[in-house]
Structure 1
Amino acid sequence: MRIPVDIAATGERAAAMLEALGAISQSSDNLTRFFLTPEHRRAADLVGDFMRAAGLDVSEDALGTVRGHWQPAGPDAPRLLIGSHIDTVANAGKYDGTMGVVVALLALEAVVKAGLKRPYGIDVLAFGDEEGTRFPTTLSTSAAAAGHFLPSWLGARDADGLSLDEAIRAYGKDPAAIPAAAYDPDKVIAYVEAHIEQGPVLEAEGEPLGIVSAIAGASRLSITVTGEAGHAGTVPMRMRRDAFAGAAEMALVAEKIARADRHGMVATVGRLHVEPGSVNVIPSRVVFTLDLRSGSDISRREALTEFEREAHRIADARGLGVVISAFHEVGTVPCYRDLQLRLRNAVADLGHRAPTLPSGAGHDGQAMSRLCPIGMLFVRCRGGISHNPAEYAAREDIGLAVAALVRFIERFELPQLTGSVQGAEQ
């Protein structure tokens, strides 16, 4: 069965839904919607209304993930999961995460209305803690769905000192019920997510949709460089032990390493603190961060080793001390190759070429990969801008994403991934 999709009309409907969700904010000046807040409650309720209007049954787990269920083969049949998140960063755009929920909803609505029969069910998921903006528990909602929620997270506290346990109870949920949020891995086929690219590649290539090859692994380091303070006017350049000059050279080495990599590596120095911080004093101590991401764990580990070696070489040459410590580490999550192929074929059926590219940003798929194979569809965003009010995806592109998911579901037969739940290339 080929299900008709009016791409322009669907894009308009998606835009209206995104505008409605984008109006739900903790701030009157911008879009800010954190996990387990009253605004999260309102957005979740609206998503539930959208799901019911699409002909889905609706439930909600102990962490507030809204689930829309299509069960043509009954509640015990295997399930394909499609979704994204509805929480935001502070001063956010309207598309990051939320667009993926809307696209999944509209695609499944078309499938339901067409009366398509499948020996499996489909759940649309609206997660609430992908950004990690309120608690230091990023991906806790998708981790719970995957059966890997850590009880220690319940003690995590937000900026006001409220614990996650307390916030869950204030939201009207019971933390003791979190284990029941986990899917049975024997009943889950795969997880698929549509998301704005959050980068400029698709726009540069003139293509509306792309296929994600992997969610990049990331390492974050804190580097402390120590030297000796001195008068800015009286210490000769050849006799200085300038901590900032050493740190700057180390940052440029990180950039050089990333530029030479063949796996889409990116390196970012995002935070830097200089002491004593006086305009006329040579810096004696600098602390900076390095965020290193790559589509290959091997290349990322090699880059870390090379950076550490070069940082110590620079410190020795300049008479400085250097201490490097890691404070965050997450491995690369490959997207399942069969899902990549089927998503690419679905896009090709719409007359478009879908480039393959890695995701440098994290997604709920990282947590869901511990449950089942994952696949991701990227949607072009203007200027590659994200986490910003200027974030924008064209209505036509969003409509194409809905149509691509419909084509994907039309052709997706149960035997294709049976027995492959643990088969995503790790």
Structure 2
Amino acid sequence: MPSSFEQAARRVLARADELATYTEEPGQITRPLATRAMAGARARVREWMQAAGLETRVDAIGNLAGRRGNARLVIGSHLDSVADAGRYDGILGILIGLEVAAATDLPIEVVAFADEDGLRFQSIYLGSRSFVGELTPQELALRDTNGITLREAITDEPGPPLYDPRTEAYFEVHIEQGPVLEAEGLALGVVTAIAGQSRFNLAFNGHAGHAGTTPMHLRRDAAAAAAEFVLAAERIALDEPGLVATVGEFKVPRGAVNVIPGRADVTLDIRHQDDGVREDAVARLRAETEEITQRRAVPVTWSTISHQPATLCTPALVEQVAAAVEATGLRARRLPSGAGHDTVTMARVTDTAMLFVRCAGGISHHPDESVSVDDVAMAIEAATHFVRASCST
């Protein structure tokens, strides 16, 4: 007979399959903030919360919270998705929280945040930031691609935040979204920190010319300068353990096969769990880019998109999560998260902890996102150990 944790895991996967049907794009999983798909998914999760004995509340932006008793521990993750998403990013943490709530009578709160990925309004953590009362008038004026503001989309004025300032800890279970656990043959990971990140737009300005008549040594090729920048970013990241740098967009405006590129626009995303390492890497890359552009006579302008400092999980809670993982018989593998999570927001108001679950191939934000019954069962078991220990202190 399957164990209670295996039965719970199968229920989690079945519920994830059901939630995948709430989508704005048939045949894909696309569930943005303040849409019919989001409302349907939230209503279904609300039914499951109530069946688990939780008293539910919803705020103006659509965050759903299910609470039992004098809760001081919040378990949560996000209910929204990117476009053409997988079915476990965010969802898994909510559903595992529900299983812990249903199997215990502990005073806990389970939260489904309405927006973490920022698909509709291109602003991350809107759900958790609304939950703790951080939304600004400027963000309420954000517009989607149809010109609808966030204020118009949610219809109601934000009221008092759902967050209880007496909360002592926030715990999030999430798929790893990376390949480390799978490479090491481990089902679970203990998150130590969430990497800080810097994002930039860069515009390389050269001089367009005829591809057949301009000698190579007389060219001011913007794309060639940008290509050197891409390789410099890769080299600098390879030099520093844990550093990652990505040029995700590379465009040549008005480019043509027979025209020397006069301009190249690229993006840079650079991340590390240590802010000092990340800032030093950006400074080094700026210096190398200056050398490249001077040598090629191709000036460059940098525009900052965003800076997000690193978020450290609370050391004492990291150790509690590690102990919970070890109680399942697994080795506690500590690792940072390169992706952002709602924990970033919650760490500004309370202590935080995270548990990673192995995902096949490290694939996330993609329909091929996959987890196993056994891994989810172990995550539920470890989460239950952690919550019992947290609620007994």
Within-5 A mapping of 1:203-242: 203-242=182-221
Q: Distance in 1 between matches of 2:381 and 2:233?
A: 41
Q: Distance in 2 between matches of 1:360 and 1:5?
A: 33
Matched, 1:245 2:224: yes
Residue pair 2:73, 2:391 contacting (<8 A) in 1 also: no
The amino acid across from 1:175 in the alignment is: E
The amino acid across from 2:41 in the alignment is: A
Within-5 A mapping of 1:134-145: 134-145=120-131
Q: Could you tell me which residue of structure 2 aligns to residue 26 of structure 1?
A: 24
Q: Could you tell me which residue of structure 1 aligns to residue 108 of structure 2?
A: 122
Structure-2-length-normalised TM-score: 0.97
Structure-1-length-normalised TM-score: 0.89
**CA deviation string 1:65-123 (max 9, x = no partner):** 1111111xxxxx451110101101110110000011001100121112xxx5xxxx311
Q: Could you tell me which residue of structure 1 aligns to residue 363 of structure 2?
A: 385
- When the two chains are superposed, the root-mean-square deviation of aligned CA atoms in Å is 1.5
**CA deviation string 1:250-306 (max 9, x = no partner):** 1111111111113x1111111111144111111111110001111111111111111
The amino acid across from 1:244 in the alignment is: A
Q: Could you tell me which residue of structure 1 aligns to residue 57 of structure 2?
A: 59
Q: Distance in 1 between matches of 2:340 and 2:206?
A: 36
Q: Could you tell me which residue of structure 2 aligns to residue 297 of structure 1?
A: 275
Q: Where does structure 1 differ by over 4 angstroms across 4 or more consecutive aligned residues? A: none
Q: Could you tell me which residue of structure 1 aligns to residue 157 of structure 2?
A: 175
SS at match of 2:67: strand
Please state how far the C-alpha of 1:413 moved relative to its aligned partner: 4.5
Matched, 1:404 2:386: no
Q: Distance in 2 between matches of 1:353 and 1:176?
A: 44
The amino acid across from 1:111 in the alignment is: T
The amino acid across from 1:130 in the alignment is: E
The amino acid across from 1:66 in the alignment is: L
Matched, 1:322 2:300: yes
Q: Distance in 2 between matches of 1:400 and 1:346?
A: 10
Residue pair 1:62, 1:181 contacting (<8 A) in 2 also: no
Which stretches in structure 2 are left out of the alignment for 5+ residues?
none
Residue pair 1:207, 1:354 contacting (<8 A) in 2 also: no
Q: Distance in 2 between matches of 1:188 and 1:55?
A: 20
**CA deviation string 1:340-360 (max 9, x = no partner):** 111111010111113111111
The amino acid across from 2:157 in the alignment is: P
Q: Could you tell me which residue of structure 2 aligns to residue 421 of structure 1?
A: none
Residue pair 2:59, 2:162 contacting (<8 A) in 1 also: no
Worse-matched range after superposition: 95-104 or 139-148: 139-148
Residue pair 1:336, 1:374 contacting (<8 A) in 2 also: yes
The size of the alignment, in residue pairs, is 392
The amino acid across from 1:90 in the alignment is: A
Which stretches in structure 1 are left out of the alignment for 5+ residues?
72-76, 416-426
Within-5 A mapping of 1:253-292: 253-262=232-241, 264-292=242-270
Please state how far the C-alpha of 1:233 moved relative to its aligned partner: 2.0
Within-5 A mapping of 1:190-205: 190-205=169-184
Q: Could you tell me which residue of structure 1 aligns to residue 82 of structure 2?
A: 89
Q: Distance in 1 between matches of 2:46 and 2:301?
A: 50
Please state how far the C-alpha of 1:151 moved relative to its aligned partner: 2.4
Q: Distance in 1 between matches of 2:243 and 2:337?
A: 11
